[in-house]
Structure 1
Amino acid sequence: MDIVTQTWPWYVSGFLIGIVMLLLNYFGKVFGMSSNLRTLCTIAGADKFADFFKFDWKAQRWNLAVLAGAMLGGFVAVHYMNNPSNVDINPKTIEQLAALGIDAPNGKLAPQALFGNQIFESPKMILILLIGGILIGFGSRYAGGCTSGHAISGLSNLQIPSLKAVIGFFVGGLIMAHFLLPLIF
């Protein structure tokens, strides 16, 4: 087992997320990735067009480090830890995806049919990405945060609104996976 190139086991990454949450709680910070988008939009000048973006973004500078860390982590995962041999996908899931024309990842972290560069050649896939992005942005704003903010930070702080949001995220994901994805593909 080559631990250097494999994806991290859940107990390592889960432990590290827990440590980060303890540190953020200790310093009185709240984690969430969607707040970074708000900060970036404000830095780019969106505060001149909408009151939502009028806030002291400099107080959120620390959260930009989280964004940079996520980008760096993604780069490391794709280029150095891309051997998913310790990831088991249920054979029934592979069979169901194959019925939709989506191949198994075949040694990659994600299927090429959904995450490869060829999706940018298909107007249908570009439209799906645009509509999906708008819906995710609207949903994050409507729910008062994104999945990471509610599921990691909100639940660890025992916030009832986060529990409701996470239940909504899971129900929406199940509806998407079982009913809408087969219609799209």
Structure 2
Amino acid sequence: MDWIYEPWPWYVAGPFIAAIMFLLLFGGKNFGMSSNLRTMCSIGGAGKKADFFAFDWKAQRWNLMVVVGAVIGGFIAANFLSKDPAVDINPETVSTLEGLGFQSAGKAYLPDELFATGAFTDPKALAILLIGGLLIGFGARYAGGCTSGHAISGLSNLQLPSLIAVIGFFIGGLVMIHFLFPLIF
């Protein structure tokens, strides 16, 4: 049973994703995580202030269960199905990240320099988290969905806007990691 503690290869995980997508398409549903933010705002009463949030959120309950399942599944995987919290990444990447001040590179999924409780007292780390969160939220809304919605659901539906969005996400990621990340850190 040691295989359960290891990352699953693409030829196992991929068909699972394809099966879930088939079931969603068959049921007339679209997969996406960022749409849940709109649903949660609607539940909180934002529909009284902005028409964008005025919709029947109860029709999206199934998608909220996807988020709950992702959180529960992540907790179970991290706490019960992971022997080693280290991330197996390229040694060159580890040395580059260590040179930028990330001493926890390759040792944990989330770098302590950004995600430890000390980040809330460090103005630079706090600014990065807040500005990054706003940009991700705005970008997901502006693109009409997040990376998972466009790349998994949109591409499987052969939607041209999703292809354009995924290409934009990829280019943005390359610009971030090769140009902006070294400037910020």
Instruction: Please report the TM-score for the alignment, with normalisation by the length of structure 2.
Output: 0.91
In 2: Cα distance, 1:128 partner to 1:109 partner = 18
Which residue of structure 2 lines up, in the alignment, with residue 81 of structure 1?
A: 81
> Measured at CA, do residues 15 and 85 of structure 1 come closer, stay the same or move farther in structure 2, by a change above 3 Å?
farther
CA RMSD of aligned residues (A): 1.9
Distance across 2 between alignment mates of 1:42 and 1:138: 17
Once the two structures are TM-superposed, the CA of residue 87 in structure 1 deviates from its matched residue by: 5.7
Q: Note if contact 2:33-2:67 (Cα within 8 Å) is conserved in structure 1.
A: yes
State how 1:20-99 maps to structure 2 within 5 Å: 20-83=20-83, 88-99=88-99
Shift of 1:98: 1.3
Q: Distance in 1 between matches of 2:131 and 2:85?
A: 33
Runs of 4+ in structure 1 over 4 Å off: 84-87
Q: In the TM superposition, what is the alpha-carbon distance from 1:145 to its structure 2 partner? A: 0.6
Between the aligned partners of 2:61 and 2:45, the Cα distance in structure 1 is 16
> Structure 2: 5+ residue runs without aligned partners?
none
Instruction: Give the AA of the match of 1:166.
Output: V
The 3-state SS of whatever aligns with 2:8 is: coil
- 1:66-145 map, 5 Å: 66-83=66-83, 88-103=88-103, 104-106=105-107, 108-145=108-145
- Helix, strand or coil for the counterpart of 1:3? helix
Q: Closer, same or farther in 2 for the Cα pair 1:113/1:85, shift >3 Å?
A: closer
Q: Which residue of 1 aligns with 2:162?
A: 162
* 2: CA distance, partners of 1:78 / 1:109: 10
Aligned length: 184
Structure 1 residues 24-67: Cα deviation after superposition (integer angstroms, max 9, x where no partner): 01101000101111001000001011111011111111111111
SS of the residue aligned with 1:144? coil
2:101 and 2:183 mapped to 1: Cα distance? 12
CA distance in structure 2 between the partners assigned to 1:56 and 1:24 by the alignment: 20
Deviates more, 1:112-121 or 1:18-27: 112-121
Q: Which runs of 5+ in 1 are unaligned?
A: none
Equivalents in 2 of 1:125, 1:87: separation in Å?
A: 22
Q: Which amino acid aligns with 2:162?
A: S
Q: Matched residues in 2 for 1:8 and 1:47: separation?
A: 41
- Could you tell which deviates more after superposition, 24-33 or 5-14? 5-14
Q: Distance in 1 between matches of 2:15 and 2:4?
A: 18
Return the TM-score normalized by structure 1. Answer: 0.91
Task: Judge conservation of contact 1:105–1:112 (CA < 8 Å) in 2.
Answer: no
TM-fit CA distance, 1:86: 9.6
Higher relative contact order (CA 8 A, sep 6+): 1
Of all paired residues, the percent bearing the same amino acid is: 62
